[in-house]
Structure 1
Amino acid sequence: MSLFSSIVNKIFGHAQPAAPATPVAAPGPQVTIVDGSEATADIAPPARNPAPAPAQAAAAAPVDVEAVLTDMAAAKGGKSDWKHSIVDLLKLLDLDSSLDARKQLAEELDVHAGAHGSAEQNIALHKAVMRKLAENGGKVPADLKD
């Protein structure tokens, strides 16, 4: 699995809504027994355009990346600078933040700014991750992408 896929899984998986309740089946036809024989009555026609289930509506909503990461940082003590540091972002997600891992991530996202491990590359890498999260269904504030 690629490092970026791991980032997506950690963030989007953390934001998953609660499991939907088991759908209740529509009632079937009413059966009435009259004088020992069955008679079927009250058969309702099927719904033409059923409303989408709440789980479907929630699944279509974009994941608020900033809120998820802020919650994760708070749960870990709140001392992460994940908004500016790719290393802190990776550590917050319990992912490898080593130079080799960041080199791999730079290759995955086609980031070629500065020397590997330089501040220039780390800043560009952080912005590329945020842009890519937005492209994949995340709601990311503009200041984190630009």
Structure 2
Amino acid sequence: MSFFGKIFSKIFPSANAAEVVAAPPAPAPAGAPAVPAPPPSIPLGEVAPILDAMPGAASLNWRTSIVDLLKLLGLESGLAARKELANELIYTGNDEPGSAAWNIWLHKQVMSRIAANGGTLPPELRD
């Protein structure tokens, strides 16, 4: 299972994590057969109340910190794990891995992918 799939399945245990799309598919080269689009997302519910109800949520800043989000979900939050996630989400920036800007990008991408796969997020988590 992909790292993002693990995140998604911790938030929505009943969802089929094998069907979640961590990164948009790369465009097909000219002349190659088109890759089918991912299945449409199925509304799964409000993400914030699910995460807020998890044990330990009150003491973690999961709304802005990728490290705290991963800790809340019981997943590895070290730099190696975050690098794996960044590679999966196709990070192409120039920020140093582990830097504040890099971690902010990673958190925003995770939230964006959760929404793209059917999770409902409040406006402050979608930007």
Q: Structure 2-normalised TM-score?
A: 0.73
Alpha-carbon distance in structure 2 between the residues aligned to 1:131 and 1:77: 20
Shift in Å at residue 141 of structure 1? 1.6
SS at match of 2:9: helix
Question: Structure 2 stretches of 5 or more lacking a match?
Answer: 16-41
Corresponding residue for residue 112 of structure 1: 92
CA-to-partner distance for each residue in 1:96-125, whole Å, 9 max, x for gaps? 001010001001111233110000000000
Alpha-carbon distance in structure 1 between the residues aligned to 2:104 and 2:43: 28
Work out which structure has the larger RCO, using CA pairs closer than 8 Å and 6 or more positions apart in sequence.
2
Q: Is structure 2 residue 70 aligned with structure 1 residue 90? A: yes
Specify which structure has the higher proportion of strand. Answer: 1
Identical positions, percent: 48
8 Å Cα contact 1:112/1:121 also seen in 2 = no
* Distance 1:132-1:61 versus aligned 2 partners, 3 A rule: closer
Letter in 2 for 1:138: G
Question: Structure 1 stretches of 5 or more lacking a match?
Answer: 16-59
8 Å Cα contact 1:128/1:145 also seen in 2 = no
Q: Structure 1-normalised TM-score?
A: 0.64
Larger Rg: 1
Between Structure 1 and Structure 2, how many residues are aligned? Answer: 100
